[in-house]
Chains A and B, each alone.
Chain A
């Protein structure tokens, strides 16, 4: 670019770099969300302006559990992975055996670096035999592209071009049916299928992050608003509510689901050498398939399993009382510090005080008794220190039959 006039040069420079004018990206659903926003509680989700809550966190949570809730998941990082080697490629990158994932199915998976430390967890959608969508918390394009060396596969980031919604809650099936999506009842949990919207396709999967009956919908971003309106209209009689992340976070904790960089630090983000985690250390060991062909981190994981290199464990805790133990230190016998709570709430569904915690083995593994959490409850500028008993309990904390019931119930 040649400009002799410094003013013109500056203008050209500004025109080519105007990202600073919108430090938060707007989702394709932003006009609808803005219109419903009452609390102005926003947060940053992967660079997007996303609602933490829209009107009332508590009631938004109950919309998930007793009505139907609409949550914008467009900021979720999405990759389209296709080609003759797509299956082999994903099998090398991720922990689970992708050969077992049939077209039209979704599975929850995770992936590691060479050292066997988790880079992220996410969901893998098999759209066709040679086409996948990988959804994740963090961005991984360089990693995926470098992983593609030697594979006939194309990897395209489609976070911006694909809009996505999570429709969750007992009435979610009824909303979809009333919105005119035929045969959604045929979808079993972790199934996906294509449906028609505005003459185009919308991919609907029976998946979600709530442990409840629920669906996720993916469309081209140009169709986003039309899709929202279609659901919104159908949901009017079903108590459909738009919700923010705070409500979803409660639901996911009840379901025992973990969040990257909240319940564990991803390998690319960890600055301190001891903060990285292997799948076995964050409850994802079940994904590891040592029988399938080579995958990233396999040697390191195997070695850690054999040589006792696993130092941590992620557990579900039930804490006595009703004060959430968020970020509380966990003690053994009330003295020895053995870990930290990463997320905690009073669960309205379980009627229990629940938490996720990372403990140092053998605590939480072979030694599970006599655990305590120290809760600092701020009471009018003074901490009230509470030492509460904690019990290791299985996850999920709640199990809802309607999540997997076939056909899905009509509420």
Chain B
């Protein structure tokens, strides 16, 4: 029986960040990955012969600078070329497209002059407000029970930065905080395409429509991310998101972390209220002083720890985490580069969004409330092989799209629903890129059910739980486990199910490791 200082369950990017951070402190660390490859929902996978794609997460827009710096990811092969930022283009089936160029629309191409000015004003306002939230979305959430001096002063800094906004701005910040994105957009903008795009971005990955209360938070969350100091920027790394994971993995290995794959964990050993190791599905038992769970909090407690070791109230809260995903992932292998109406090369290399108006997004959302998929889905599309030719055979093209809305609990079931939904998506694509249907060599659609099964994420939610106001900060994943430590001594959470949430940021993993180090775990 081997013994480690820390076992990290789950070799997704957060698990690897946590492992690497702990490894750098001379702890003996072991990562246990259930799959044959690390990376979780951010790995790069082959989905058709010769075609590879970033699996669920397909863009990098919030990999945290502290993660990059502290793990020296650039030294380990991470290439984030700020000159290769991707623009976003809103497609229009019969009009002209609109493009947000630079980092989230530093310039707006294809809109009227007054709209450009309105956007410029709104953009800087949104960035200012997202900037207030940014530190909150980086640190350990405030501990209401009793904060250390450092934590209290960090929170005070948020208060000070709020004051620095000035009276009027502060008032508006507070007024808008829990608003729906549609109302905010109506206050500032005219252009349906632009409003459609922002409405889409605010609700991407959530079970929310643009008119659902608090939907603006999703946009702030996006804008709190940055690349190379540019907030709101996005890019597709060479080699897909899997390449980012590989850089983190390399950093972990350099820090002496042992990584084992194909070893699903059956349970976490709890003795006398303390986690002391893990039992693999093979029956092998591994002991450690600290157990870090970088997988779904729900799976962690309900399956690996088991309800017998935790209190009923806590089980209730874990059981109530809303984890049902509402977004699907589409991968197309195309025998040629698709032609999107009115688009040229630079836009084609960017992110393409089908969300022609706020109403369209809202209507796409409506059926999902009743367990039906959107007949006219909204989506963000990338053509990764244009940016990284290694991802598709010569002359061919890969397409990766996040499509919503696709409720996890589809009323008719995904067995019969999936082909119908795929048809609806392809019809939508065909309308914007005539002829694309004929060029499809292979199509892979991952519904939330598929995502659940393939990536072991209950509900198939890529954030490991809805990222809404009630499941943020000290309520993420639930009260009692919000600060990465849990009611079980020696057990820590480190997945995107913990604060601040999903996206390839590495922050939950980094914060969890720092918490462990601070507590000498």
Which residue numbers of A lie inside 8 Å of B, CB to CB? Answer: 88, 92-93, 113-115, 143, 146-147, 149-151, 293-294, 296-299
Contact = CB atoms under 8 A, between A and B. Distances in A.
Contacts of B319: 146, 149
B312 interface: yes
B312 A143 contact: yes
B179 interface: no
B307 A151 contact: yes
Interface in B258-304: 270, 273, 302
B308 A113 contact: no
B308 A150 contact: yes
A146 B312 contact: yes
A74 B308 CA distance: 32
Contacts of B315: 146-147, 149-150
A296 B311 CA distance: 5
Contacts, number: 47
B308 A114 contact: no
Nearest to B320: A146
Contact of A114 (B302, B307, B312): B312
A92 B270 CA distance: 15
Contacts of B310: 294
B309 interface: yes
A113 B317 CA distance: 13
Given A113-B312, A150-B302, A151-B307, 18 more contacts: A88-B308, A92-B312, A114-B312, A114-B314, A115-B313, A146-B319, A149-B307, A149-B315, A150-B307, A293-B308, A294-B308, A294-B310, A296-B311, A296-B313, A298-B273, A298-B311, A299-B273, A299-B311
Nearest to B480: A114
Given A146-B316, A294-B273, A299-B273, A113 B311 contact: yes
A270 B309 CA distance: 27
B419 interface: no
Nearest to B317: A114
A99 to B, nearest CB: 13
B306 A114 contact: no
B313 A294 contact: no
A151 B308 CA distance: 8
B313 A114 contact: yes
Nearest to A111: B312
A156 B352 CA distance: 56
A57 to B, nearest CB: 40
B487 interface: yes
Contacts of A92: 307-308, 312
Q: Is the interface of B mostly helix, strand, loop or mixed?
A: helix
A150 B311 CA distance: 12
Interface of B: 270, 273, 302, 306-316, 319, 480, 487
24 contacts: A92-B307, A92-B308, A92-B312, A93-B312, A113-B312, A114-B312, A114-B313, A114-B480, A146-B312, A146-B316, A146-B319, A147-B315, A149-B307, A149-B319, A150-B302, A150-B306, A150-B308, A294-B273, A294-B308, A294-B309, A294-B310, A296-B313, A298-B273, A298-B311
A7 B475 CA distance: 49
A297 B273 CA distance: 12
A298 B270 CA distance: 14
Contacts of A146: 312, 315-316, 319
Contacts of B314: 114
A147 B311 CA distance: 8
A249 B100 CA distance: 77
A146 B315 CA distance: 8
B477 to A, nearest CB: 16
B329 to A, nearest CB: 31
A296 B309 contact: no
B308 A297 contact: no
A93 B480 CA distance: 19
Given A113-B311, A294-B309, A299 B316 contact: no
B479 to A, nearest CB: 10
A88 B306 CA distance: 13
A92 B314 CA distance: 13
Contacts of B487: 299
Among B270, B309, B311, find the residue whose CB has the most chain A CB atoms closer than 10 A. Answer: B311
A92 to B, nearest CB: 6
B145 to A, nearest CB: 12
Contacts of B308: 88, 92, 150-151, 293-294
Contacts of B306: 150
A106 to B, nearest CB: 24
B311 A297 contact: yes
A202 to B, nearest CB: 33
A297 B314 CA distance: 11
Contacts of A296: 311-313
B311 A149 contact: no
Contacts of A293: 308
A120 B487 CA distance: 23
A260 to B, nearest CB: 18
Nearest to B487: A299
B268 to A, nearest CB: 13
A81 B489 CA distance: 31
B313 A113 contact: yes
Nearest to B319: A149
A115 B145 CA distance: 13
Contacts of A147: 312, 315
B306 to A, nearest CB: 6
A345 B480 CA distance: 44
A323 B166 CA distance: 68
B484 to A, nearest CB: 17
Contacts of B316: 146
A144 to B, nearest CB: 9
A114 B478 CA distance: 14
Nearest to B318: A149
Nearest to A151: B307
Contacts of B311: 113-114, 296-299
A279 to B, nearest CB: 15
A315 B319 CA distance: 40
Among A143, A146, A150, A297, find the residue whose CB has the most chain B CB atoms closer than 10 A. Answer: A150
Contacts of A143: 312
Nearest to B270: A294
B259 to A, nearest CB: 31
A113 B316 CA distance: 12
A150 B316 CA distance: 12
Contacts of B307: 92, 149-151
A149 B315 CA distance: 8
Contacts of A93: 312
A151 B315 CA distance: 12
A148 B77 CA distance: 49
Contacts of A298: 273, 311
A314 to B, nearest CB: 24
Among A113, A114, A149, A296, find the residue whose CB has the most chain B CB atoms closer than 10 A. Answer: A114
A166 to B, nearest CB: 30
A286 B36 CA distance: 52
A298 B308 CA distance: 12
Nearest to B314: A114
A147 B273 CA distance: 18
Nearest to B315: A149
B276 to A, nearest CB: 14
Contacts of A150: 302, 306-308, 315
Contacts of B480: 114
Contacts of B270: 294
A327 to B, nearest CB: 32
Contacts of A114: 311-314, 480
Nearest to A293: B308
